[in-house]
Amino acid sequence: MNVKLIGFTPNPEKIPAMAAKLTHSKTKPEDLDKTSDKELKSVLDYVMNLGHTSVIEHASFNFAISDVSRSLTHQLVRHRIASYAQQSQRYVNFNEPNYVTPPKIAKNKEMKKAYDATMKNIWGEYNRLLELGIPAEDSRYVLPNAACTNVIVTMNARSLLNFFELRCCQHAQWEIRQLANKMLREVKKVAPAIFKNAGPACKSKGICPENKKDCPLYPK
């Protein structure tokens, strides 16, 4: 899995801070840019601590994500306040096997051997269908959820906070949890104030929505 932050709103923390200040100020929006960085940081910290996160919707982040499974992207697109562009199995020929292996399978030699043999057979049938003249958009029906795909994702900061709460959780599936943690590390580099408390709900809110008391991160 590869995750890279390829773009984001310029001044991703300054603009939300200006938006927050605007709501309690007589100053015209175009003049808010004259506010000192120190004051804007203080305003942003204040509204974030209050949980008034609507202002951070003004900051968006673009991610390039590659070599993840179709199983992961089926979960990813359930996060509706986002934009997605995914590699098409209709127009791209996937004649070479490329798939994700779950860790629990990878660490068991016998299971790994059977898994790889299954994938080899699947791709053999896929290529046979292509050779018979079946278009890729129909041949792809035999490809597994494990098939690798690439996607570009854009989310605003508020949606990302919600995404991290749900997908950084220990009870999220391993692959999307790995993705969420990689995305969180990327955005912390450019917007540390917004994402300083981001993560699973046990970290961001001090609660466990799953009420899983056996989880090592369960709030004490």
Measured CA to CA, the distance from residue 131 to residue 133 in angstroms comes to 5
Helices 157-167, 174-190: axis angle to 10 degrees equals 140
Contact between 179 and 167 under an 8 Å Cβ cutoff? The reply is yes
Residues known to be catalytic: 167
> Which distant-in-sequence residues (6+ apart) come within 8 Å of 46 by Cβ?
20
Burial of residue 51 (CB within 10 Å: 0-12, 13-18, 19+) is exposed
| Rounded-to-10 torsion of CA 123, 125, 130, 132 | 160
- Encode 53-72: b = buried (16+ Cβ within 10 Å), e = exposed: eebbebbbbebebeebbbbb
